Amino acid sequence: MNANQTLASPFVDFKEVKASVSILQVLEHYSLIDTLKQTGDRLSGPCPLHNGNNPTAFRVSISKNCFNCFGRCGRGGNVIDFVALKEGVDFRDAALLLQDWFMGGDASVPAREPAPAHRVREERSRTVYPPAPTQPETPTPAETEQEDEATENPPLTFELTTLKTDHPYLEMRGLDAETIEHFGLGYCSRGILRGHIAIPIHNRDAKLVAYAGRWPGEPPHGTPKYKLPKGFRKSLEVFNLHRAFQEPEDVPLVVVEGFFDCFALWQAGITKCVALMGCSISPEQEKLIAAAMPNGGTIELLFDNDEAGHHGTEEIAARLLQFALVRSIELPEGVRQPDELSEDEIAEVFE
Ligand SMILES: [Zn+2]
């Protein structure tokens, strides 16, 4: 989710930073490459953001230029997000750091060569990474249980009942009252999600398993945009799947990256829509979608529109093609993510 980019100052071109700096360069900068194992387009290893021990929790897609943690912290995003989390700075400062490290310090200088990611990828394809070193420390029992053995997110035993549904942030994101009510969204003024927009997440059986908290706007220094409960594994859920499959079987299932893409599509009448809550698909998410489509059908992928994004859909498409027809839908030029489109534009994209 990168809506905050609309608040960009003229001095940092976030899009250009994302297109110019590869995730491999960033991982190398932090000397993390050796902790990761490469399989094709993907790297995996213990998560350097929450310092976990699970050797596959942290996954990187080289072509999509993004990362995701399927372990405790559940963080994910692009190169700028990674640096922001690693340095504890905001998105803008992280972009400035990347500019400084890899782009000669001045983003107004045109990128000398497009997409260094390509060059790095070519070099990488000749390099076979050694297997990740054996873990020097045994994971604590708590960690093992949390990251390796949890096969489901237990249903919550409470529900947030006092959410404020008319928060200006929801309006700013273009959501109307019906959409807000449908998805049960609202501003939370107490508890751990205090100060966040609460987004209820249900499992496939429609049981409430978590609330994600979205900071309403540009988060303060060091605060992530999304807060997920400790121990919650987003890799085990597909957002909105329980509602999508109440829709007719012959209607295509639209798969998007983020919550707000899902909200925007629903509001525009594309109601059979689910979100992966990240830029990659976990084996569990793949299984959930497959199980929900026993007779096959059509899946439409609508992912963020950046250079890496076009490559990234390919991997997910290949995996979903095993059990469904897959169509990749392109956003109009200049539009970064589906939730930036008006309802009319969304309808046009799906025509
Ligand atoms: Zn993590």
Residue 76 CA to ligand 1 centre (angstroms): 8
User: Using one digit for the tens of pLDDT, what is the confidence trace for 279-325?
Assistant: 788 889 999 999 989 888 999 999 888 766 666 688 889 889 988 99
Residues with a beta carbon under 5 angstroms from ion ligand 1:
47, 49-50, 69, 71, 73
Contacts of 32 (CB under 8 A, 6+ apart): 45, 48
Residue 252 confidence (pLDDT): 95
Q: Report d(CA 27, CA 22) in Å as an integer.
A: 9
Residue 304 CA to ligand 1 centre (angstroms): 22
**Confidence band, pLDDT 50/70/90 cuts, at residue 150:** low
Q: In what order do the strands lie in the sheet with 208-214?
A: 186-188, 196-202, 208-214, 226-227
Question: Is the pTM above the cut of 0.85?
Answer: no
CA-to-CA separations, 245 to 198, 274, 276, in angstroms, rounded: 23, 10, 15
Q: Report d(CA 133, CA 83) in Å as an integer.
A: 24
Q: Is the pLDDT of residue 264 over 60?
A: yes
Can you say whether residue 337 is alpha, beta or left, with left for phi > 0 and alpha for psi between -120 and 50 degrees?
beta
Residue 49 CA to ligand 1 centre (angstroms): 5
What CA dihedral angle connects 143, 145, 148 and 150, to 10 degrees?
Answer: -130
Mean of pLDDT values over 85-97 = 88
Q: Is the pLDDT of residue 168 over 90?
A: yes
Name the residue with tokens 């793949």.
286
Residue 186 CA to ligand 1 centre (angstroms): 26
User: Using one digit for the tens of pLDDT, what is the confidence trace for 170-203?
Assistant: 999 999 999 999 999 999 998 889 999 999 999 9
Q: Is the pLDDT of residue 143 over 60?
A: no
User: Using one digit for the tens of pLDDT, what is the confidence trace for 38-85?
Assistant: 988 899 999 999 888 888 889 999 988 999 888 778 888 899 999 999
Query: How many Cβ atoms sit within 10 Å of the Cβ of residue 136?
Result: 6
| Amino acid identity at 250 | D
Length of the chain, please? 351
